[in-house]
Structure 1
Amino acid sequence: MQWQHLRSDQIDATDRETVVVVPTAAIEQHSLHLPVSTDTTIVTEVCRRLDAACGDGLLVTPTLWLGCSRHHRNYPGTLTTALDHFGHALFDTVDSVLHAGFRNVLILNGHGGNGAMLSVTAEKLKYAWPDRRVAAASYWDVAGHRMAEVRESGPGGMGHAGEMETAVMLAIDPDRVDMSRAAADGIQTASPLGHIDMLGLGSGPGSVTRVRTFEEMTDHGGFGDPTTATAEKGERFLAVIVESLEAAVEDLAAGRL
């Protein structure tokens, strides 16, 4: 069920144990071959498919599309907000859902730059609503073990505008993908402790994070290898992501998380 498509009385009649998913994303540059809407398009489609899989057992709010993209803002097309502003908007959105009486919320992130504020905001919500369940996760973390079975690129191949995002966009919005401009990109650090991959391949448990702008870590705005992407692979990625998230929704609703 899509929150914005329901009347107020329909939302009021919804079982308050229903899991409410709050998607977060961004509008930012995605290399030479993908649109700036990529993160928002993907997480919104993931939630649409998850909603269809869960039926009346799920309620999905509109995607919070303005994210933390300061590290991309020197690239044309990027829209960004301050970390605190994003945190306040996310807190207020979930707070509104909880004020309406819903007891189970999954904040589902679709943009890496939002990750730190998701954790902070989830902690604030815990203390504001101690009797409710608020979980937060990026979809690639929930589905990572299954996504690894689909990927073909090596360590570093799945990141910003890399194999997975390009494949999924080819599956759901191919007219906005220009594969003639797709090229591998991404400058890894000299130390393997700083190596980047969406699924953590090539990184150890002692990995070190240092904030860098995208100009410092890329040649043309991407990080990964989009050249292995196909629409068929995108559908496979979407399938394992939705299946993994469906299990997470079930566990949250049952109190196992």
Structure 2
Amino acid sequence: MRLADATWTDADAAAVDVVFLPVGSTEQHGPHAPLGTDSFTAETVAERTADAYAGTAVVAPTVSVGVSEEHRQFTGTLWVSPDTFRAYVRDTVASLAHHGWTDVVVVNGHGGNVPALGEVCAAISRHDDAYAVPFTWFDAVGEHATDMGHAGPLETAFLRHARPESVREDRIDAAREGASDRWGEWVSATNLAHDSAAFSENGVVGDPGVDTEARGAELLSRAVDALCDLADAVTARDADPVPHR
């Protein structure tokens, strides 16, 4: 059930097992992919998993502005502080729990959200009347995960499969020419660059022209399978706080 499309009576009548809360970003994805890429990919994974899941899953509205200041030099990028992001996610999960929907998987599409999500899901599970875990879809696609980049092969392939009209194919050469090979500037296992513009001319990391719709279909399938498995584990788990030893 997609919560934004339901009535309150529909929601009230549903025997909900788990809630998927998609979170993404509104940030540059090179000259060829839309600013909403991370939000769209997270929402797509959540919705396709809800359709495939054996139980009943609710897909909450997407949190579409995330921790994205690292892309601030590129017009259209929006961001909030980690504190604001954590507070928003925590309050949203609290409102879900108020209705008895206490098992929540936060489905993430943006790497910059990862640290804050780990912190807030732990805080929710330790101190609130809910159990929450983060799930970042591109970390759950097996060997493909090593090609992630940014607006590179994986995200572009995903869009070619799930939203092909959003990819500006006539700009792929320009995206490739201005891209960097890897994220960051690394010395002694430390990234010296805080912003993507410090190492990528156009914000792209990796080659967005090498992969096809078929790889995008594989990525989505793997992410959906992984999220189904995670949802089963979350709903089966005793989420009561661990007692003091």
TM-score category of the 2 structures, normalised to the smaller one = 0.7 to 0.9
Q: Distance in 2 between matches of 1:145 and 1:169?
A: 19
Residues 191 and 116 (structure 1), Cα distance of their counterparts in 2 relative to 1, 3 Å cut: closer
CA offsets, 1:145-194, max 9 Å, x none?
2635xxxxxx6x42110111000111122222123322162254665764
**Deviation at residue 242 of structure 1 after TM alignment:** 0.8
Q: Distance in 1 between matches of 2:143 and 2:104?
A: 23
User: 165, 177, 181: which is aligned to 2:171?
Assistant: 181
Aligned residue for 1:134? 132
**Deviation at residue 123 of structure 1 after TM alignment:** 2.1
Aligned residue for 2:97? 98
Aligned residue for 2:214? 232
Structure 1: state its 5+ residue gaps.
149-154, 195-207
Q: Distance in 2 between matches of 1:237 and 1:69?
A: 24
**Deviation at residue 59 of structure 1 after TM alignment:** 0.9
Contact 2:153–2:208 (8 Å) recurs in 1? yes
Question: Residue 144 of structure 1 aligns to which amino acid in structure 2?
Answer: V
Q: Percent identity?
A: 28
Q: Distance in 2 between matches of 1:46 and 1:121?
A: 21
Residues 51 and 146 (structure 1), Cα distance of their counterparts in 2 relative to 1, 3 Å cut: farther
CA offsets, 1:85-107, max 9 Å, x none?
11111111011111211221111
**Deviation at residue 256 of structure 1 after TM alignment:** 7.8
Contact 1:146–1:241 (8 Å) recurs in 2? no
Q: Distance in 2 between matches of 1:234 and 1:228?
A: 12
Q: Distance in 1 between matches of 2:134 and 2:142?
A: 18
Contact 1:187–1:217 (8 Å) recurs in 2? no
Structure 2: state its 5+ residue gaps.
240-245
User: 158, 168, 173: which is aligned to 1:168?
Assistant: 158
Contact 2:21–2:105 (8 Å) recurs in 1? yes
TM-score (norm 1): 0.83
SS of the residue 1:232 aligns to: helix
Residue 241 of structure 2 corresponds to residue 251 of structure 1: no
Alpha-carbon RMSD across the aligned residues, in angstroms, is 2.2
TM-score (norm 2): 0.87
Aligned length: 234
Residue 8 of structure 2 corresponds to residue 11 of structure 1: no
Aligned residue for 2:114? 115
